Structure formats: C-alpha cells, structure tokens
C-alpha cells in the first residue's frame, strides 16, 4: 500500500486563483482528515469526514475554504480565491475506527502551497 | 477549552544526554494522548500513545493527570532522534488537537 496519496506535492499560485488539493486515503479507512501546518500555529485540523460525510468543519478558516469527499477513495480541499496567508503545508490523513478507541492517523506527504 | 501546549519550539541537546519534551493539556474529560513525530523528509507518524504504555525507540511518556502533562522522555538521545515532535489530544470522535510542536536537535 502506498499509504495516503496527496497531489500536487507543490503548488505555487497567484493571489485570487482557485487552488484544489487532492487526497486518496488508505483503502478501507473510514476517517479522513485535512490539516494545515504553519510555523506559527503548528498543525491545525481543518475538517474531517467519516464514511464520506463531513463531521466537523469548525477548523475551516473561512468560506473561501471548502472540502468534499465524493467517495471513499477521494477527497478535495479547495481554496477560492486564494490569499498569501493561505501559504502553508496541507496534510491529509486517514484512519480506521472501532472499539471506542482512537486508531493511528496515517498522514500523507503533504502539499506545500505558496500563494504569491 | 481543549488545548495542548508545547512550550518549547526548539530543544537542542548533545548525543547521549537525556531528553524531555514537554506537553501539557487542558481537557475536561478522560484524556487520550499521543506523540507524533516527523523526521526530515518523512511523513508525520505516530510515535506512541499513552494507553499502550510502551517504549518506542527508547522514548516513554507517562500521563500525569494531576499535572495535566504527558512529557516525552528518553534517557540517552541519539542523532537520529532529531525531528519535529507533536503532542496530540483526542477530543472525541477521532478528532485530534495538536500542540505547536517541538523541534529536537541532537548534536554529535
């Protein structure tokens, strides 16, 4: 298994442009998480899904951010319009559930986004 | 408020010295805590969780509910321990709150 797959690995775009980040979770995992990592704030949870349904999007910073999970093997995080302060590394992670305990979250390699 | 605090952004030690990465949490329920690690050019990965009470790569972490702490310790640091370490708290339904991370630098 290649683990969690994210694309693109690097994205450079101009302010105002739409950016779409993609994630393929590990097969069989029913939780999917989107995080943002910055030097100042560390790792922040943006949104997460269970069985393709958004459970908690309270971490999404603004309406400019949206996320979808149309099926169990694909999710997108979209920023429209992008701003320089959105520059960060965006991680996708997936995990299993069950037994009332937290299973390990498996992280993707991240997408480094730079908005100029 | 549910919060994880890692007071040190950078911890620099020499090889063979003891290491303690601090983590304090704020949570009203029964806490479930983790340490995740990110080595250079590698993915963020789970190092250990408090319910397992295990030692991984020589690291241990004990949950102290009285002090609301979950410090990560290793008696003798190795150069390969240099990495970014994140403490995380499960706030329910698989949702993790991470601290801001501590970069550990082990010098020869």
Section A68-86 average pLDDT: 96
**pLDDT of the residue at B56:** 87
Quote the CA–CA distance of B6 and A15 in Å, as a whole number: 33
Look at the block and give the residue holding tokens 């991984």: B56
User: If pLDDT is split at 50, 70 and 90, which confidence band does A114 have?
Assistant: very high
Task: For residue range A40-58, list pLDDT tens digits in order.
Answer: 888 999 999 999 999 999 9
Query: What whole-number distance in Å separates Cα of residue B88 and Cα of residue B25?
Result: 9
Q: What is the pLDDT of residue A66?
A: 97
Q: Over the Cα atoms of chain B, what is R_g?
A: 13
Nearest CA in chain A to B84: A42
Short-list A91, A105, A114, A98, CA closest to A43: A91
* Partner-chain residue, chosen from A50, A97, A109, that has the shortest CB–CB distance to B43: A109
Counting residues of chain A whose pLDDT is more than 90, the rounded percentage is: 85
Average pLDDT, integer, range A63-75: 96
How far does the CA of residue B13 sit from the closest CA of chain A (Å)? 21
pLDDT value for B91: 86
Q: Is the dihedral of CA A57, B92, A30, A93 positive or negative?
A: positive
Mean pLDDT of A79-91: 96
Q: Is B86 on the interface with A (CB under 8 A)?
A: yes
Q: Average of pLDDT values for A110-116?
A: 97
Which chain B residues contact residue A4 at CB under 8 A?
43
Q: Is the pLDDT of residue A104 over 70?
A: yes
CA angle A107–A108–A113, rounded 5-degree value = 120
pLDDT value at position B26? 94
Confidence of residue A29 (pLDDT cuts 50, 70, 90): very high
Measured between CB atoms, which of B32, B86, B94 is closest to A97?
B94
With a cut of 70, which residues of chain B have pLDDT below it? none
Q: Is B50 helix (H, G, I), strand (E, B) or coil?
A: helix
CA dihedral A40, A41, A46, A51 (to 10 degrees): 120
Amino acid B93: pLDDT: 75
The CA distance from A94 to A80, in Å, is 24
Across the interface, whether the CB atoms of A103 and B94 are under 8 A apart is answered: yes
> How many alpha carbons fall within 13 Å on the CB side of residue B82?
12
Q: How far apart are CA A44 and CA A47, in angstroms?
A: 9
Q: Which of A89, A87, A75 is nearest to A5 (CA)?
A: A75
Two tokens at A29?
A: 């995992």
Which residues sit opposite A90 in a β-bridge? A36, A111
pLDDT top residue among A34 and B49:
A34
pLDDT of residue A99: 57
Residue B95 pLDDT:
86
Burial of B59 (C-beta count, 10 Å sphere; 0-12/13-18/19+): buried
Q: How many CB pairs under 8 A join A and B?
A: 55
């Amino acid at each position: 298994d290649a683990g969690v797959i994210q694309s693109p690995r690097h994205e450079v775009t101009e302010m105002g442009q739409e950016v779409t980040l993609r994630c393929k979770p590990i097969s069989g995992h029913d939780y999917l998480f989107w995080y943002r990592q910055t030097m100042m704030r560390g790792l922040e949870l943006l949104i997460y899904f269970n069985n393709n349904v958004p459970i908690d999007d309270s971490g999404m910073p603004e309406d400019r951010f949206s996320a979808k999970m149309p099926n169990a093997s694909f999710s997108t995080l979209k920023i429209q319009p992008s701003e320089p302060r959105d520059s960060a590394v965006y991680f996708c992670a997936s995990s299993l559930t069950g037994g009332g305990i937290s299973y390990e979250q498996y992280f993707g390699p991240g997408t480094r986004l730079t908005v100029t | 408020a549910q919060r994880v605090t890692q007071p040190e952004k950078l911890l620099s030690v020499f090889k063979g010295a003891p290491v303690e990465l601090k983590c304090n949490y704020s949570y009203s329920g029964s806490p479930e805590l983790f340490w995740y690690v990110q080595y250079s050019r590698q993915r963020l990965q789970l190092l250990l969780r408090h319910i397992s009470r295990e030692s991984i790569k020589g690291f241990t972490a004990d949950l102290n509910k009285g002090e609301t702490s979950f410090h990560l310790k290793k008696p003798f640091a190795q150069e390969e321990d240099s990495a970014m370490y994140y403490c995380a708290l499960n706030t329910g339904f698989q949702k993790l709150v991470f601290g801001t991370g501590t970069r550990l630098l082990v010098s020869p």
